Structure 1
Amino acid sequence: MAARIDHLVTSGTFSLDGGTWDVDNNVWIVGDDTEAIVVDAAHDADAIAAALGGRRLVAIVSTHAHNDHIDAAPALAARTGAPILLHGDDLPLWKQTHPERSPDAELTDGQVITVAGTELTVLHTPGHAPGAVCLYAPGLGTVFTGDTLFQGGPGATGRSFSDFPTIVGSIRDRLLTLPPETVVRTGHGDSTTIGAEAPHLDEWIARGH
């Protein structure tokens, strides 16, 4: 059976630099009826485990270490035995949320994660966070972008550990080079496509947000 993509939305808070905001997060589950990976274990380990059903969880892949994307990761890992994967450049952010528990392995640029016969390639896309990554699954015609690229533009870069020129460079060099029909599945909000976002790069740069 070919891999499929399941989606749930969980709700909680995002905290950084002394502020806290209510957020809804997209949690993506990629796999078949036997095994799966979770992209961003946000807020609610029980809901994510319920969506997994009886499937073996191969890995919990964190697109970056802002608390709203990793807050449920240790609980889900404890429940399933799955390793938590995170790019090493985001360890300082991770430690703000989970000082007592480290990720189990580091994600590296170009690394390939295989689940249910489907390959997902790790693309290091810093800017929103130093260790932000996207996961490109050409066999599924999709890229999971976390908070790097949304419908309408780049992720926020106004807080600690973020940088606007860096995120624009990541999007231009690593994402907009993907096939235009590639579906962009984001960390928050609606999905889009590479082709829908690519024409707006110069506008984003001019806005400089």
Structure 2
Amino acid sequence: MIEHLVTSGTFSLDGGTWEVDNNVWLVGDEHEVLVIDAAHSADAIAGAIGDRRLVAVVCTHAHDDHVNQAPALADRYQAPILVNPAEAPLWEMTWPDRAPDAELTDGQVLKAGGVELRAITTPGHSPGSTCLYAPALNVLFSGDTLFNGGPGATGRSYSSFDTIVASIRDRLLTLPPETEVRTGHGDSTRIGAESPHLQEWLDRGH
């Protein structure tokens, strides 16, 4: 079971602040659930969780718009926050006094409500950006690594266009073409809809 919330707030980095709408994803069943990217409104996310057990708050990366409600939600449900350790510089910008509870590492398998999610590390948008792949659901949660229309933004600190394109090429476009891509912002897409544009992205970097 996948549930989807859109929450609104701001994203700040490198001295700028922008209004953003974020996709928050809940994966599980009627008893337990994982939250992917606790953005902007802990109350709205808690409303979607209800009285289910929160297995973990999983952060695809640590830009403030993706983690600004992670501690509040984790504390409310006594659930761990999982973040790739390479995200530490970004995490600490938002939460200097609160470390994540556990590391999110490449190949790690998370389970909620009978659904298995495998972590796929895809650096580029940020150093430890991580996608979550649910083979049984034929779904990839891509955070800000891959969008409907191409790679995530790389024009800010701790990001690299060449790295994100390599991550998408080597780690995501190898998934089945019918895989649905549930993104961190905006509309979903499919691996097969994005893969024909790989050469354009490669050319853009040179």
Q: Same fold (TM over 0.5)?
A: yes
Aligned match of 1:83 = 80
Off by >2 Å, runs of 4+ in structure 1:
none
Q: 2:50 aligns with which of 49, 53, 57?
A: 53
Q: CA RMSD in A?
A: 0.8
Question: For 1:3-57, what per-residue CA distance to the aligned partner results, in whole angstroms no more than 9, with x for missing partners?
Answer: x000000000000000000000000000100000000000100000001111100
Taking structure 1 as the reference length, what is the TM-score of the superposition?
Answer: 0.97
DSSP-derived class of the 2:35 partner: strand
Aligned match of 1:36 = 33
Q: 1:22 aligns with which of 19, 22, 33?
A: 19
Taking structure 2 as the reference length, what is the TM-score of the superposition?
Answer: 0.99
> What letter corresponds to residue 78 of structure 2 in structure 1?
G
Aligned match of 1:205 = 202
Aligned match of 2:175 = 178
Unaligned ranges ≥5, structure 1:
none
Of 31-40 and 110-119, the range deviating more from structure 2: 110-119
Q: 1:118 aligns with which of 112, 115, 118?
A: 115
Question: For 1:59-78, what per-residue CA distance to the aligned partner results, in whole angstroms no more than 9, with x for missing partners?
Answer: 00000000000000010011
Cα distance in 2, alignment partners of residues 185 and 64 from structure 1: 15
Cα distance in 1, alignment partners of residues 11 and 147 from structure 2: 17
Cα distance in 1, alignment partners of residues 101 and 175 from structure 2: 29
Number of equivalenced pairs: 206
> What letter corresponds to residue 201 of structure 1 in structure 2?
L
DSSP-derived class of the 1:47 partner: helix
Identity across the alignment (%): 70
Cα distance in 2, alignment partners of residues 132 and 182 from structure 1: 19
1:195 aligns with 2:203: no
**Contact 2:38 / 2:67 at 8 angstroms: preserved in 1?**
yes
Unaligned ranges ≥5, structure 2:
none
Aligned match of 1:65 = 62
Q: 2:5 aligns with which of 5, 8, 16?
A: 8
Cα distance in 2, alignment partners of residues 200 and 106 from structure 1: 33
Shift of 1:187: 0.1
Cα distance in 1, alignment partners of residues 117 and 103 from structure 2: 15
Question: For 1:82-108, what per-residue CA distance to the aligned partner results, in whole angstroms no more than 9, with x for missing partners?
Answer: 100000000110000001100000011
Q: 2:101 aligns with which of 87, 99, 104?
A: 104
Aligned match of 1:157 = 154
**Contact 2:29 / 2:114 at 8 angstroms: preserved in 1?**
no
> What letter corresponds to residue 84 of structure 2 in structure 1?
H
Shift of 1:118: 1.2
